[in-house]
Amino acid sequence: MNCQSIGRFRHPYDCGKFVDCLPDPETGKLYSREGSCNGQAFHPTFKKCGSIDKVKGCKPRSGRAIAANHKLDYVCEGASSEFVCADCKTLVNCINGTAYPEPCASGDLCAVKDAQFGGGVCYPSEPIECMCEHPNEFKVDYYDETRFFFCENQGSDPVIYQCPDDHLFVPSLSQCRSYAGLPECTSIGVFANELNCSQYYTCIFTTNGWVQKPSSCDNETHSGLMYNEQTGKCEDPCTWDTGKFSCSVEGRFPDPVNCNAYYECVEDDSYESGLRQTHHSCPDGYEWDPTAREAFGHCVVQGTRKAKCSPVKENKCFIPQDQCNATGDQ
């Protein structure tokens, strides 16, 4: 077919096919590309495939039919007989709700052009959202946020990847995250969502991979609770021991978060609290024992300490300052 303008047109010899007329980016001239309605008829007015009885006198010729992919039938919901884009490199010809995918050739991207093509079409260098503008770049797919693509070089064809089930691609993190915004499972257990510790999740490993079950501390009777990984419970975060130390009297005291260190508190009027607080560490191979030297405390050989040391572990949850100030805690 000799193309005169950009668009999707009836095939000159077969009503069961159509012809896309596209611009060649290098020459600027138009070239033609045939497509099949897979046993259906092409309706030139609506620019889509449909029932044969809708196109008067149509008798499609037999020819090579494209294969259906029922995994992509979901993109045809609400568009039973349309041309739609499943992702930046996959055009889907929806015929009676069944998906017939057509991968776009090198240099082409799936673009929606309703005026000329009545829907999606594999088009040269459009849309810009699907183009590789920078080398070594990850971008979320323009049509499906559960997919992403990698750009090896500027102007190269995007390579499409699929996130795991129940995940979407987060561009700012360049990784797939669950719909609930939960981190990826890397070990078995129950963990707090450090970005929002009112949520927590269980990680279970099966023969089919990781299973992640989200949960929430919010309920009708309590609000503001966060999941504490140390106790395995939803608690008021303002009651948590943060391990913060402040001098109240003179003396030497163990560091709540480090068994090999201690604080020294000395009266000094130049400080607002009246006490100068200094942090010290024991030498390598030694640890602080508050019971040594008649309970004045001293560094002892590691493993010989008489007092039990259970350092406070840093909590990864972000606690808004106003939340605890309102209760007078922290």
> Is 222 a domain residue?
yes
pTM flag (> 0.75): no
Name residues of the chain where pLDDT drops below 70: 62-65, 219-222, 325-330
Using the CB atoms, write b or e for 23-47: b if 16+ within 10 Å.
beeeeeeeeebebbbbebbbbeeeb
Rounded Cα distance between 189 and 187, Å, is: 6
Rounded Cα gap, residues 191 and 177, in angstroms: 15
In a domain, 323, yes or no: no
Do both 261 and 170 map to the same domain?
Answer: no
57 in the same domain as 15: yes
Residue 42 pLDDT? 92
Give the Cα separation of 177 and 167 in Å (integer): 5
326, part of any domain: no
Which contiguous run of DSSP H or E holds residue 170?
A: strand 167-170
* H-type alpha helices, 77-208: 114-117
Same domain, 168 and 96: no
pLDDT, residue 283, reads: 96
Please give the order of strands across the beta sheet that includes 17-23.
Answer: 7-10, 17-23, 30-36
If we measure between CA atoms, which residue out of 43, 147, 53, 139 comes closest to residue 93? 43
Q: What is the pLDDT of residue 8?
A: 96
Alpha carbon distance 239, 299 (integer Å): 31
Give the chain's domain count: 4
Pair 163, 51 in one domain: no
Residues 204 and 257 in one domain: no
Domain identity same for 42 and 79 = yes
Q: Is residue 1 part of a domain?
A: no
130-170 pLDDT per residue, tens? 999 999 999 999 999 889 999 999 999 999 998 877 788 88
Other Cβ atoms less than 10 A from the Cβ of 53: the count is 8
- The answer as to whether 329 is a domain residue is no
Strands (E), 82-144: 83-87, 90-95, 98-103, 108-113, 119-124, 137-140
Same domain, yes or no: 17 and 118: yes
What's the rounded Cα separation, in Å, for the pair 297 and 288? 7
- Range of the structural domain that residue 161 is part of: 132-179
Q: Note whether residue 104 is domain-resident.
A: yes
User: Is residue 88, in this structure, part of any structural domain at all?
Assistant: yes
